[in-house]
Structure 1
């Protein structure tokens, strides 16, 4: 039987990983254009 505290902990970890994945994807998509702009400036 899973206790309420364990359930909150699991949800917190999953939420943290989910947010981290979204931030990683967003930063990953935004990084190439920034690099291209730097290259064009040079």
Structure 2
């Protein structure tokens, strides 16, 4: 049997990009304040 334990997986988002926080905030702003008559689509 496999030793897979997905419930024990721990992840943390980290980037070495010095502008990471600024870029994330721009994306979050789109979600929170979507411009009128616009659609925001997220693709992972």
TM-score by length of structure 2 reads 0.35
Computing the radius of gyration from Cα coordinates, the structure with the larger value is 1
Larger fraction in helix: 1
